[in-house]
Structure 1
Amino acid sequence: MFYREYPPHPALAAHVDCVWAARAPGGGAAHRVLPDNCVDILWQDGAQPGFAVGMMSSSILVASEQPVQTLAVRFKPGKAGLFLATPLNLLTDQRADIDLLWGRSDADRLADALWSSEAPERARLTLIEQELLRRLCDNAGGSPLVQRALQALDHSAGALRVEDLAAQLRVSRQHLAAQFRDHVGLSPKLYARICRFRRAAAALKAAPAPDWAELALACGYFDQSHLIHDFQEFAGNAPERFHFSNRPAA
């Protein structure tokens, strides 16, 4: 399977992690897609409207019976709502056709432009960026509270306790959780757990036979059993049988 990421347009860099392209050969071969604390919008060949894939709380298996080409954008945590105009908790573990979020006319116009051209994939990804830039002009900058919370959780790689985070931000845990679900799509606690899991997954990719207790502590887990529990929940497998995968399609 081909998969490639590109840096976004500079004016989108504060909101977009990357734009990306993928080609799956078909044949029904499945790959596991892991939760990554991001929201994507995907357009797949056939001139169909795109679809948004919300935050994931566990891994999923994706199989393509037929060859499929994908063009997509991946948003930074807490930023997709600027372009989708819907509370992100409504998309968690879901996919929504972009015509329902953007309107049929705009969705069809972009899909036609993406798939009616023989332009290189990077040039077609630029069409997606242009649509995002147009939509960004009509939106505010999101929630400063949630952005501060995200920065703190990411800086700690998920090790910061939600109670301590709320106290640091001088808000109640309940208020923080409500704002976080609307603007991110997950609770702060679940977001932090996925941060820890992703850190451990990256460490396993670099060193596939670690000292498990040492790895758990280095990644912010209380003990090895908590590490094992998160791998079983988020990757569908024990850590010693884990195989790292990207999130190329859904």
Structure 2
Amino acid sequence: MTGVSEGMRAAPATPLRPYLGPYEGYRLVGYGPGLHLGTPAPEVTVVLSLDAPVVITTTSHPDQSEGSWGALASGLATTAVTIAHDGNQHGIQLALTPAGSRALLGVPSAALGAWIVDLGDVLGSDTTELVDRIAAEPLWPRRFAILDEILLRRASGGESSIDPHLQRAWHLLTGPDAPRVTDVAHDVGWSRRHLITRFTAEYGIGPKDAMRVARFDRSKRLQRRSPGMTLAAVAAHCGFADQSHLAREWRSLAGVPPSTWRADEQFPLVQDAEDLQRASSRA
């Protein structure tokens, strides 16, 4: 069955950009029913469904059962979730930085952990306004303008900032040339044990796992951008020791090797550079 994909990818208003990546609006229609793999990423995920609720059949937290959510938030995790769909998906996805979790959701990412929570649990009454106004607006630019309005209002309320030492550690560990945890601890002037304790308390995952998830996510994004690239080349480009190391990390973090993900992933990602450039100019 051949499906149809449309949507828009747009940068948020300039003051929000330290807190989240581009808005990802998507509408996928006419695909075959099945399962979609939601893989680990170094961001807090927020999803607003504009149609049927999102059905999660396998969650990242071992104590959380399957469920469905019309609007959800989820913290950092080291395992994938499984999303059941009928071949149609319509919504907006946001990727919040750890600073964005504090500024926009009002909690550190560790407070969410690997749990999936109803967005209303962290946004309160703003969730109802956000969902109702976006659902009533048919055009992506107007939907994104509503997001800007409500998120800017939340950000202006002030944030409990992340310790600069932890910000520095996050930047180093999730970058493309991540050093050893011991070297990061030395860089920020803490013991290794103190770094691990404080880092995990803020972000919900430890320094080594943050490095692994960020590297995994880079490899996933690279494969989306360059589907013809060999796995050996992906491994070398993203900092894995070799292709076998890449495959082991994919099995650990996604539950499948990258070759299987490539074959099974049927939903395209809405990443129209022209749309992004057009939408960015409005901010």
> 5+ unaligned residues in a row in structure 1: which ranges?
none
Per the alignment, do residues 16 and 28 of structure 1 end up closer, same or farther by CA in structure 2, a change over 3 Å counting?
A: same
Q: 56, 62, 82: which is aligned to 2:103?
A: 82
**1:169-180 aligned within 5 A:** 169-180=188-199
The one-letter amino acid of 2:17's match is: A
Partner Cα separation in structure 2 for residue 227 and residue 95 of structure 1: 27
The one-letter amino acid of 2:85's match is: S
Q: 29, 54, 75: which is aligned to 1:54?
A: 75
Contact 1:52–1:96 under 8 Å retained in 2: yes
Partner residue in 2 for 1:25: 29
Superposition deviation, residue 123 in structure 1: 0.7
Partner residue in 2 for 1:160: 179
Partner residue in 2 for 1:189: 208
Partner Cα separation in structure 2 for residue 247 and residue 168 of structure 1: 40
**1:116-155 aligned within 5 A:** 117-140=136-159, 141-155=161-175
Partner residue in 1 for 2:64: none
Provide the TM-score with structure 2 as the length reference: 0.73
> 5+ unaligned residues in a row in structure 2: which ranges?
53-68, 270-283
Partner Cα separation in structure 2 for residue 80 and residue 191 of structure 1: 16
Partner Cα separation in structure 2 for residue 163 and residue 91 of structure 1: 27
Per the alignment, do residues 238 and 77 of structure 1 end up closer, same or farther by CA in structure 2, a change over 3 Å counting?
A: same
Identity %: 25
Partner residue in 1 for 2:134: 114
Partner Cα separation in structure 2 for residue 203 and residue 160 of structure 1: 21
Partner Cα separation in structure 2 for residue 145 and residue 123 of structure 1: 38
Partner Cα separation in structure 1 for residue 21 and residue 190 of structure 2: 28
The one-letter amino acid of 2:77's match is: M
The one-letter amino acid of 2:37's match is: R
1:36 lines up with 2:29 in the alignment: no
Superposition deviation, residue 208 in structure 1: 4.6
Provide the TM-score with structure 1 as the length reference: 0.82
Contact 2:130–2:147 under 8 Å retained in 1: yes
Contact 2:36–2:83 under 8 Å retained in 1: yes
Alignment coverage as a number of residue pairs: 244
Partner residue in 2 for 1:12: 16
Partner Cα separation in structure 2 for residue 18 and residue 176 of structure 1: 30
Superposition deviation, residue 192 in structure 1: 0.3
1:227 lines up with 2:246 in the alignment: yes
Per the alignment, do residues 147 and 98 of structure 1 end up closer, same or farther by CA in structure 2, a change over 3 Å counting?
A: same
Per the alignment, do residues 170 and 208 of structure 1 end up closer, same or farther by CA in structure 2, a change over 3 Å counting?
A: same
Per the alignment, do residues 204 and 133 of structure 1 end up closer, same or farther by CA in structure 2, a change over 3 Å counting?
A: closer
Structure 1 range deviating more: 18-27 or 159-168: 18-27
